[in-house]
Amino acid sequence: MADLKLTDVEKAYGDVKVLSNINLDIKKGELIVFVGPSGCGKSTLLRMIAGLERITGGELQIDGMVVNDIPPAQRGIAMVFQSYALYPHMTVRENMAFALKIAKKSKQEIDAAVNRAAKILQLDQYLDRLPRALSGGQRQRVAIGRSIVRDPKVYLFDEPLSNLDAALRVATRIEIAQLKESMPDSTMIYVTHDQVEAMTLATRIVVLAGGGISQVGSPLELYNRPENEFVAQFIGSPAMNMVPGEVVETGAQTVIRLEGGGTARADIPTTGADKGMKVNLGVRPEDVTATDGEDFLYRGEVEIVEALGELTVLYFKPDGREKPFLAKLPGTHAEMRGQTVKLVADPAKVHLFHNGRSLLYR
């Protein structure tokens, strides 16, 4: 139930900077998700907020107070670890009560807090069991319960679902979403590499890459208006197609001639000076449609067809491209294998990038 403010936060190991220029304002009641490829420093950033890693530069404020040098326990945070980190020798009840016991709370107070958390997480029947007698999902709920009893200002989740199997992951994800809804005032920071978790849970997503913040925004903002090529390709699955090209006509609508002989229109305004500019055209696999007309954005031979029933994913022959061009068409198109297919896209749904940055954000 607090605001967080990160100002120029930086993490260095010796001379090696792994994180720098992290500026972030987190409002009370938000659920912020840190996503990024592995090794981007998202867990490190979370651990810096928790106080488990020293902040080597910049400032971290919780509720207006600088907490850089305040020990974790006094920051008012609670953390849920990827491996649950339950104390194996304590029962569920003792696990959840540990923090309160350390804080020398009265027995009634501890019991009340534990019972309340157990009720929320449906752990009432398991309170006297040891963690090893619980399933993975139950253990994760205990870990969450351990956070709830402390009534922290900020909840920190470090990839809490990645140790669960697929079905349980979906169920637990929904439980976390419901938990957040039942505690609208609590601030949560959630680290994951799974973009579905990020898209479904977040009020805002922070995409981290290369030791810095790539973009911050609501899930749909990131999907619809990615600031750069990295975010464009990181959010959305399968990833956005990139086709290099050149601006040939400018104005309210821009016309681009693409490598491979295609042309495309984009509802992105450009000025006369932009004529001849090298751009990368980004179009999501779900935003293209097959066409018989003269004009096309991309033309290629279909190499692989993945028919999923409701939709079909087409993989085109790479023809010198790094990654194959992908198209996601509704319905079943098993017959398209080996055929040459032409594709077009809605001008409102294509993205243009110059030097990796979106032209929308010039």
Partner 1 sequence: MHPVIQGVLTIVIGVGGCVGYFYFSNMILDKVIFPARETRPNRTIGLPVVFGLPTLALVLGYAGPLVLQALAGEASMISAVFAVAVTAMLAYYLLKFALWAFPVDTVSPGDNINRANKVRPWLFLFPAMFALGLYLAYPVVGSFWRSLFDRSGANFIGFGNYMDLFAGSSFRTAVFNNLMWVLVVPAMATFFGLLVAQLTDRLKWGNIAKSLIFMPMAISFVGASLIWKFVYSANPDIGIINATRDFFGMAPVDPVQIPFWNNFFLMFILVWIQTGFAMVILSAALRGIPEETIEAAIIDGANPFQVFFSIKVPQIMGTIVVVWTTITILVLKVFDIVYTMTGGNFGTHILPSYMMTYMFRDDGRATAVAFVIMILVLPVMIWNIRQANKEMR
- Interaction site with partner 1 (CB under 8 A): 50-52, 71-74, 77-79, 81-83, 85-90, 98-99, 102-103, 146, 150
Cβ at position 65, least distance to partner 1 in Å:
18
Choice between 106 and 273, CB closer to partner 1: 106
Q: Contact, 110 vs 185, CB < 8 A?
A: no
Choice between 87 and 361, CB closer to partner 1: 87
Choice between 152 and 245, CB closer to partner 1: 152
- Measured CA to CA, the distance from residue 140 to residue 93 in angstroms comes to 14
Choice between 4 and 235, CB closer to partner 1: 4
Choice between 52 and 168, CB closer to partner 1: 52
- Measured CA to CA, the distance from residue 361 to residue 232 in angstroms comes to 13
Cβ at position 42, least distance to partner 1 in Å:
17
Per the rule left: phi > 0, alpha: psi between -120 and 50, beta: everything else, 146 is: alpha
Cβ at position 149, least distance to partner 1 in Å:
10
Q: In terms of Cα–Cα distance, which of 307, 300, 308 is closest to 338?
A: 300
- Measured CA to CA, the distance from residue 358 to residue 280 in angstroms comes to 9
Q: What is the dihedral of CA 270, 276, 279, 283, to 10 degrees?
A: 70
Cβ at position 146, least distance to partner 1 in Å:
8
> Residue by residue, what is the 3-state secondary structure of 16-64?
EEEEEEEEEEECCCCEEEEECCCCCCHHHHHHHHHCCCCCCEEEEEECC
Cβ at position 131, least distance to partner 1 in Å:
10
